[in-house]
Amino acid sequence: MNEFFIPRLGHVVWESVPRLGAATRLLLGGLGAVGNRHFSFRQWLREVYGLGVLSLALMIVAALFTGMVLGFQGYYALVRFGATSALGTLIALSLLRELGPVLTALLFAGRAGSALTAEIGSMKATEQLAAMEMMAVNPLAWVVAPRLWGGIFAVPILCVIFDLVGIFGGYLVSVPVLGVDGGTFWAQMQSNVTLSGDILNGLLKALCFGLIVTWIAVWQGFSAKPTAEGVGAATTRSVVMASLAVLGLDFILTALLF
């Protein structure tokens, strides 16, 4: 570590302050624009559908595999304590509290978030956003708000689907393959998973992740350099930043909600 490290770090932080300010203004402006007369409910519904459907097949496949792996690994750990009757609970809690929201958000960032950045970036590069401004239509209301609210809404829904499919995958491995008793599997799960403690906790995480992934995606699209190359770079940045943000935020939320 050389003597320039601290000044350089200071410089990096100082440089990023105005950009963070602009990103925050985009977020607040976008969220607040639901009150604007150019906000359209139909447009929002289209985004929820579009963003959700884009990632749905991916979610289902990923959830199935995740659940099945959880079945094997959980069995491996529990069988040593003769506690395989708790396998259902273990799978459900892992998915609902942690893996469901996090994996949903990571997959969402890779599939829908990147598409969002590329879409907005190319709208900027081809002057569509400038044209919209010239037609006196605020892009915050017409473009940003439906996407932000769409992401906030779509990710929790996707997360619920992920959880359900994942639990089903876990069941497939635990009961028919590993021979755990089916009745115990479900009964244990039912009596040990709580609505507010586990299910809502996970959904709250999914909501926060949906917000942050969509925010980063939209912001990267807006601040992309208006060239083909710039849009490509922004798309990559969007996925990397969103993934790291999800993992970091997950730590904070888990610590807070523990």
Partner 1 sequence: MAEENLVEIRGLHFARGEHVVLDGIDLHVPRGAVVAVMGASGGGKTTLLNLVAGSLQGQRGQVLVAGKDTTSLTRAELYRLRQQMGMLFQHSALFTDLSAFENVAFPLRRHFRLPESLLQKLVLMKLEAVGLRGAAQLMPAELSGGMARRVALARAVIMDPLLILYDEPFTGLDPISVGIIASLIRRLNDALGASSILVSHDVKETFAIADYGYILGGGKVIAEGSPDALRSSKSPMAQQFLQGSPEGPVPFHYPAATTFAQDLGLQVNK
Task: Give residues in contact with partner 1 (CB under 8 A).
Answer: 38, 122-123, 126-128, 130-131, 133-138, 142
Residue 1 or 134: the one with the smaller Cβ distance to partner 1 is 134
Residues 6+ apart with CB under 8 A from 137: 38
Residue 90 or 123: the one with the smaller Cβ distance to partner 1 is 123
Residue 99 or 141: the one with the smaller Cβ distance to partner 1 is 141
Residue 20 or 130: the one with the smaller Cβ distance to partner 1 is 130
Nearest to 163 by CA among 107, 249, 98: 98
Q: Taking the complex as a whole, how short is the minimal distance between the CB of residue 126 and partner 1, in angstroms? A: 6
Residue 73 or 122: the one with the smaller Cβ distance to partner 1 is 122
Q: 134-137: which pairs have CB atoms within 8 A and are 24 or more residues apart?
A: 137/38
Q: Taking the complex as a whole, how short is the minimal distance between the CB of residue 131 and partner 1, in angstroms? A: 4
Q: Taking the complex as a whole, how short is the minimal distance between the CB of residue 146 and partner 1, in angstroms? A: 13
